[in-house]
Structure 1
Amino acid sequence: MIGLMSRRSAPRHQGAPSSPDVAREAGWKRDDIQGLRALAVLLVIGDHVFGQPVGGFIGVDVFFVLSGFLITGLLVREHQRHGRISYLDFYRRRVRRIVPVATLVLVVTIAAAYVIFNEARGEGVARDSAWAFAFLANWHFADIGTDYFLGGGPVSPVQHYWSLSVEEQFYVVWPTAVAAVLWLGRRRTTRTSALAIVTVLALAASFGYSLWHSMSDPTAAYFSTVDRAWELLVGALLAVTVPLLRRIPDVARPLLAWSGLGLIVLAVLVVSEDRPFPAPWAALPVFGTALVVAAGAGGTQRLLAPLVNPVMRYIGDISYSLYLWHFPVVVLGLAYAPDGGIAYQASVLAITGVLSVISYHLVEDPIRRSSWLEPRWRRSLSSGPTNHSRRLANGWLAVGLLVALPMTFLALNPSPPAAGERILAEAPSGTGQGAPDGGTPEGSAVSQTGSESNLAYLQERLAQSLRLEDFPALAPAIDDLGIESWYEEMKATGCLSVPPGGLDQCVFGNPAAEPLAVVVGDSFAISYMPAIRAALGETFRIQQLTLQECPVWDAPTTHLSGAPYPECPAYRSWSWDEVDRLDPDLVIMATSHRDVGALVSRATGQEAVTEVEKGLTASLRRLSGPDRLLVMLAPPPGARDLQTCVTSVGSPDDCETEIDTGWYDATDLEKVVADEQGVAYVDTKEWFCVEQYCPAFVGTTPAYADGSHLTLEFSRQLGPVMYDALAAAAAARPSGG
């Protein structure tokens, strides 16, 4: 539902309202613009709370156009009145309008995160908030979104601040450009024409760059100020050409307005995360908004009831507060209702509404109207110190009340339990075939008494974990999890991507052993490496040949972010040649199912299935050999991220998951192809789940670092069942094969 974050990982739908209410500050206010603000924020909120409409994230584009129109209009009018643009006045207004409420929401969100979540996630929210406060959130989240190892982490409750950062970065540059162009012009008409030409040129350059960047690196393009500038510049162009727009015949204005509104609705229906964005698909809402704004340039819109009415006007007034509050409430609320539902959705809307109304009337509007930051001589000409002081006092009272909310909650709710039931069941007695060294790995989740006992014991441990009512004292602790920690741990104890020149550094097991095993695949194969080393380390040399995000099936793919990944096919071809050169006795392969979403062809549905099937068939044929055992491991079904689901108000049930149909469909496809090619296939479902239910931890050991990749500790504990699976594959191999 939230899905947020890189266009493909959790965050893609956030947009900020056109920040300052400069229309009112300039002495005029358009109801159609307030209606557009309301429509935009309702689309964004609807997308985040209900998952509908699918294209609700286009609300950001509506906001950007309105922002460009209002801010540029303010700058042009100021130059017309005074012959110059005061940067100090401009940024005083920006600070008064933007910073107080934005800071309030950040402070409350950080406090609530520490109260509700675990310490590690609280620190992550604080770190994200620091970037947001500095108006650099877009680059921060773009960096996270383009990094595969950070893309699957918990959704940040302040991720929506990225678009506010885009605006503020744009307004560091744009006022100077406007002032420079207007200063160079001698006559008013010349200045206006020059500014229009500069705006068009900048708009075209930004749009052209965005067309290329949206295809080459979609996640970075989505967050980029350069890629988004053209949307603000469309609004700026409208502001520069207002004298021309006023000449539009009155009879044509309703038609233009309704056409624009229709384009926005069309965008909501047809734009999705799979389409190149922001260019060219953002053009639909951008030019739809431009038509509505242009139609209203000559006077009040009288025939546009969906936008021009008292309800939409008020929602437009508080749209900035609505936007800032809604996403933290959405994310924090999931701690109480991990599966969502009607009650959760209703609560989110109610809490968001209350917080927004309070912050608007007690903080946002009073401070914006105040003389705060103005020079002393100007404050003396304002409405008076008493009124100013009363407004600021009300604002700080609201700040105190809102900050006190999570603190009160902390006093009324216990923190996450430091200890709970600890499962320390002993392994079944008896002897039988176990690990090659005949021993039991320390802390193993399974016994060493033969394949049936190993799996049965593991199933019992899984079942016990599913029955827990309190969180046990996990080791490693929640604060030590996360994909970054996993990344560093795997580098320290093994290998990640194995470069052609680094083969010797990624050989494990017994260096004197004659049998050789090669492991190929992406990061899911990497996460199985501790289990493979525990199973085969005494009797095999183990050569790792892995590359993150590079699936084993032979089909062109991109990074999960959508960025080109030419290294993947080259690496795959090289590693296949290495397998032939090494001529191993055993080849183990594993790959993520989610890599299917990174096909260069952008195929979906049956077309994607067909492409992957052909690619997997080609890979299995290429890796097979007459004296070689080829085994394919199904990836783990996954579970909830412990850093997300372990909260002060939750229980272990919140961390359980049910295997989705996509995992079953993908494994069924792999089984069919493996059977056709005579390749052994290991369905690993029972290693992680009881029937279709999967815990996030087994005993006191977290199963996953991030909900997808196995922790080093749990993977190592799977050594005995890994050994049993490989032994069974070898035993089932046709004689003479």
Structure 2
Amino acid sequence: MLTLAPTRTASRTESGSASPAAMGTRTSGFYRHDLDGLRGVAIALVAVFHVWFGRVSGGVDVFLALSGFFFGGRLLRAALTPTASLAPLPEVKRLVRRLLPALVVVLAASAVLTILVQPETRWETFADQSLASLGYYQNWELLRTASDYLRAGESVSPLQHIWSMSVQGQFYIAFLALIFGVAFLLRRIVGRHMRALLIVLLTALTIASFVYAVIAHGENPSTAYYDSFARAWELLLGALAGAVVPYVRWPMWLRTVVSVIALAAILSCGAFIDGVREFPGPWALVPVGATILFILSAANRAADPHVAKAGARMPAPNRLMATAPFVKLGTIAYSLYLWHWPLLIFWLAYSGHTRANFVEGAIILLLSGVLAWLTMRYVEEPLRLRAPVATRPTVSVPLRKRLRRPTIVLGSIVTLLGVALTATSFTWREHMTIQRANGKELSGLSSRDYPGARALVNNARVPKLPMRPTVLEAQDDLPQTTIDQCISDFDDAGIRSCAYGDETATRTIALAGGSHAEHWITALDLLGRLHGFKVVTYLKMGCPLTTEETPLVMGDNREYPKCREWNLKVMPRLIADHPDYVFTTSTRPWNIKDGDVMPSAYVGIWQAFAKARIPVLAMRDTPWNVRDGEPFFPADCIAGGGDASTCGIKRSEVLSDHNPTLDFVKQFPLLKPLDMSDAVCREDQCRAVEGNVLIYHDSHHFTTTYMRTMTNELGRQIAEITRWW
């Protein structure tokens, strides 16, 4: 993930060992080897917790703070030095040389593995995220998909971890523009007060970002996690530490205590704090604050360049982090972060496992370490390190040619890889655009060739023809309400109502609830136009009608306060509009065992409608495809070589022996059960394909094409209840 090692500007001896001056920086004559070691430990924690525990360790936050300290400190020194250049181009070139080569190599390897291991249904997501990674907006791409219900439950991307690099890259450019811009305008005017001005500016920005992070995390933790503005305070706090280091004077005993506590907090953070749920909110102060304290615990040493080599005045934990094993781990930290996650994801995709066991995890970590070292040694260093200006006149011309030619070749190879990766990603996206255009013909498929649900309900003959929609068409085979944006998204608690069917009719069915109510709009729209009734929608993503005070997002159990807010608005609206019928779902899958159930929080909804004398068309919920507790995508399975049976699921795992809604009919006479299970599942199995039609476009939403084939059976059941036709 992360980042830039601090620049070493002094020379090396002919033997390659660091001379005394090589341990210094341009201005202070010291170098914080302990922070190199801490960087290595942070990334090791990230990799270990990802591979073996499936948790967030806080190592990313440690690294962000260190990145702010290293990068911010260097820019601040330049801004505070009257004679230092403020030209941004050298810094930008340095960032490109440091960050892009290893990233391009890992992305290219991941592209090859994606083609070999992942089904083609995942290639477009990889192409999108590959471009986002190269463009350093991967966090915004993930933020967009995190709030996209149509992509909820997708397999984790092998590039998901690059979000933190994108946050860093955006911070680097913004911070460079800010500090150099302020220095250019005010350095001569403010003079010796420049440091105080920058400290005040950084403090204000840090507080603003932290407050924003707390608010954003409270409203939607899953999107705040990737938000650059919610993460900026972590890097800004590191930069602020770089600005105040010269003023820190602590006695040794206090520095030792602080250092011990800080290192202990960093090492234990992943075990005690659920970073996925709590970061970047207030709990992120633990790893970030501990990092800042660890930096400042050796600040006295930083003030005295004469003890740079001795290390005697450093607290014991800092001296430990400055030892060779930890420092060497720090040198491969960036590449280790890049490699470990895709290797883990590709292994899980290949093996079909949901988590790596101890042996598998050990092999993944070992292979990640080897690839990280090779990448650092043969890609990063040759392209990043250049002979210092002071030594260049003494280097012979033949030696300089030998040094430059391999570097030019390597740089050309990396550039070509990046160009090829970009071109391939755009080409596949164009291919998917053509597939979507072809998918428009799905509404006109022959009912004789593609009977779909009629093969189950009416025993219609099924000719041997290719399945439609294809695995590449399925993701975009969506209900019209989604296309028309007539469903409130996760962050929207407002009511969006649209009319379908016969819009001039006086008879009305209100379609209300979440997306599992929404996908019935295709059949209801056709029936409304055919039989003269209007369908009015009251829909919100992932949010059924419920009295639950703390709703959760089905599938990942995230708290969903906007759902509660929406329900409090929509129920009075529905009762005031008083439709002839409300069409909504009445069951959900059990989370703790096989089958389905009517949640107790639905009972209050039936009571409210009963009191208002509004009858309810209560649809039994769609079977959810889940394997080993994780969403299962039939289209992915088919793309990977499976068939209609092997990519299905046992009926007994997703549906109880009888419709749970029937248990409440006596209590609520206006509750009218609908059950389309026999139009989806056979007696013992719910297959992935019926009547040449793919049933699901993801793990639990019907394709619009299959929904059309259920129209007649749905119409028969509604007619028995309403007597409208």
Indicate the SS of the match to 1:282: helix
Distance in 2, matches of 1:684 and 1:51, equals: 40
How far does residue 401 in structure 1 lie from its aligned partner after superposition? 11
Q: 1:34 to 1:685 in 2, by over 3 A?
A: farther
Q: What does residue 33 of structure 1 align with?
A: 35
Is residue 133 of structure 1 aligned with residue 134 of structure 2? yes
Matches within 5 A, 1:701-720: 701-719=693-711
Q: What does residue 577 of structure 1 align with?
A: 576
Q: 1:176 to 1:719 in 2, by over 3 A?
A: closer
Query: Is 2:502–2:534's contact at 8 Å kept on the other side of the alignment?
Result: yes
Distance in 2, matches of 1:592 and 1:32, equals: 57
Which residue of 537, 541, 545 maps to 1:552?
Answer: 545
Which piece of structure 1 moves more, 625-634 or 286-295?
A: 625-634
Q: What does residue 620 of structure 1 align with?
A: 606
Q: Which amino acid aligns with 1:506?
A: Y
Indicate the SS of the match to 1:520: strand
Which piece of structure 1 moves more, 377-386 or 352-361?
A: 377-386
- TM-score norm. by structure 1 comes to 0.73
RMSD: 4.8
Is residue 170 of structure 1 aligned with residue 201 of structure 2? no
Q: 1:314 to 1:701 in 2, by over 3 A?
A: farther
Q: 1:274 to 1:441 in 2, by over 3 A?
A: farther
Q: What does residue 103 of structure 1 align with?
A: 104
Q: Which amino acid aligns with 2:349?
A: A
Which residue of 324, 335, 341 maps to 2:349?
Answer: 335
Q: 1:677 to 1:189 in 2, by over 3 A?
A: farther
How far does residue 108 in structure 1 lie from its aligned partner after superposition? 3.1
Q: 1:518 to 1:444 in 2, by over 3 A?
A: farther
Q: 1:22 to 1:690 in 2, by over 3 A?
A: farther
Distance in 2, matches of 1:656 and 1:301, equals: 60
Q: 1:727 to 1:169 in 2, by over 3 A?
A: same
Q: 1:635 to 1:647 in 2, by over 3 A?
A: closer
Q: 1:253 to 1:490 in 2, by over 3 A?
A: closer
Q: Which amino acid aligns with 1:102?
A: L
Query: Is 1:65–1:290's contact at 8 Å kept on the other side of the alignment?
Result: yes
Query: Is 1:336–1:649's contact at 8 Å kept on the other side of the alignment?
Result: no
Indicate the SS of the match to 1:281: helix
Indicate the SS of the match to 2:280: coil
Q: Which amino acid aligns with 1:105?
A: V
Query: Is 2:140–2:227's contact at 8 Å kept on the other side of the alignment?
Result: yes
Q: Which amino acid aligns with 2:284?
A: A
How far does residue 130 in structure 1 lie from its aligned partner after superposition? 1.6
Indicate the SS of the match to 2:269: helix
Matches within 5 A, 1:57-456: 58-79=58-79, 82-119=83-120, 121-180=122-181, 183-184=186-187, 190-245=193-248, 247-272=249-274, 275-297=277-299, 298=301, 299=311, 300=314, 302-303=316-317, 307=321, 309-340=323-354, 341-342=356-357, 345-346=361-362, 348-370=364-386, 384-393=400-409, 443-447=450-454, 454=457
Q: What does residue 475 of structure 1 align with?
A: 468
Q: 1:296 to 1:307 in 2, by over 3 A?
A: same
Q: 1:642 to 1:472 in 2, by over 3 A?
A: farther
How far does residue 488 in structure 1 lie from its aligned partner after superposition? 6.0
Which piece of structure 1 moves more, 267-276 or 519-528?
A: 267-276
Query: Is 2:101–2:414's contact at 8 Å kept on the other side of the alignment?
Result: no
Distance in 2, matches of 1:254 and 1:344, equals: 38
Q: What does residue 425 of structure 2 align with?
A: none
Is residue 507 of structure 1 aligned with residue 501 of structure 2? yes
Which residue of 622, 631, 639 maps to 2:618?
Answer: 631
Distance in 1, matches of 2:324 and 2:664, equals: 61
Query: Is 1:157–1:328's contact at 8 Å kept on the other side of the alignment?
Result: yes
Q: 1:158 to 1:441 in 2, by over 3 A?
A: same
How far does residue 538 in structure 1 lie from its aligned partner after superposition? 5.7
Query: Is 1:118–1:478's contact at 8 Å kept on the other side of the alignment?
Result: no
Distance in 1, matches of 2:387 and 2:646, equals: 49
Q: 1:351 to 1:398 in 2, by over 3 A?
A: farther
Query: Is 2:332–2:373's contact at 8 Å kept on the other side of the alignment?
Result: yes
Q: Which amino acid aligns with 2:348?
A: L
How far does residue 319 in structure 1 lie from its aligned partner after superposition? 1.5
Distance in 2, matches of 1:112 and 1:321, equals: 18
Q: 1:388 to 1:717 in 2, by over 3 A?
A: same
Question: CA deviation digits over 1:341-400, x for unaligned, max 9?
Answer: 43754554344334322222111122111379x9xx999899823123334546767999
Between the two proteins, the alignment pairs up a number of residues equal to 641
Indicate the SS of the match to 1:331: helix
Matches within 5 A, 1:693-704: 694-698=686-690, 700-704=692-696
Which piece of structure 1 moves more, 633-642 or 183-192?
A: 183-192
Distance in 1, matches of 2:379 and 2:137, equals: 24
Q: Which amino acid aligns with 1:569?
A: L
Distance in 2, matches of 1:244 and 1:730, equals: 80
Which piece of structure 1 moves more, 701-710 or 141-150?
A: 141-150
Query: Is 2:34–2:322's contact at 8 Å kept on the other side of the alignment?
Result: yes
Query: Is 1:267–1:284's contact at 8 Å kept on the other side of the alignment?
Result: yes
How far does residue 95 in structure 1 lie from its aligned partner after superposition? 0.9
Query: Is 2:339–2:371's contact at 8 Å kept on the other side of the alignment?
Result: yes
Distance in 2, matches of 1:265 and 1:251, equals: 21
Distance in 2, matches of 1:209 and 1:107, equals: 36
Query: Is 1:473–1:700's contact at 8 Å kept on the other side of the alignment?
Result: yes
Indicate the SS of the match to 2:583: strand
Q: Which amino acid aligns with 1:474?
A: M
- TM-score norm. by structure 2 comes to 0.74
Identity over aligned pairs, percent: 23
How far does residue 525 in structure 1 lie from its aligned partner after superposition? 0.9
Question: CA deviation digits over 1:90-142, x for unaligned, max 9?
Answer: 12211110111112222333344344445553233222222221212222222
Is residue 589 of structure 1 aligned with residue 584 of structure 2? yes
Q: 1:361 to 1:277 in 2, by over 3 A?
A: same
Distance in 2, matches of 1:49 and 1:551, equals: 35
Distance in 1, matches of 2:269 and 2:294, equals: 15
Query: Is 1:508–1:537's contact at 8 Å kept on the other side of the alignment?
Result: yes
Q: Which runs of 5+ in 1 are unaligned?
A: 1-15, 406-438, 462-470, 598-604, 732-737
Q: 1:90 to 1:496 in 2, by over 3 A?
A: closer
Q: Which amino acid aligns with 2:451?
A: S
Q: Which runs of 5+ in 2 are unaligned?
A: 11-21, 24-30, 302-310, 422-445, 627-631
Which piece of structure 1 moves more, 531-540 or 619-628?
A: 531-540
Indicate the SS of the match to 2:349: coil
Query: Is 2:588–2:598's contact at 8 Å kept on the other side of the alignment?
Result: no
Q: What does residue 416 of structure 1 align with?
A: none
Distance in 2, matches of 1:50 and 1:692, equals: 37
Query: Is 1:531–1:719's contact at 8 Å kept on the other side of the alignment?
Result: yes
How far does residue 645 in structure 1 lie from its aligned partner after superposition? 3.9
Distance in 1, matches of 2:279 and 2:254, equals: 31
Q: 1:330 to 1:718 in 2, by over 3 A?
A: farther
How far does residue 528 in structure 1 lie from its aligned partner after superposition? 2.7
Q: 1:276 to 1:23 in 2, by over 3 A?
A: same
How far does residue 269 in structure 1 lie from its aligned partner after superposition? 3.1
Q: Which amino acid aligns with 1:167?
A: Q
Distance in 1, matches of 2:329 and 2:513, equals: 51
Query: Is 1:113–1:122's contact at 8 Å kept on the other side of the alignment?
Result: yes
Query: Is 2:69–2:239's contact at 8 Å kept on the other side of the alignment?
Result: yes
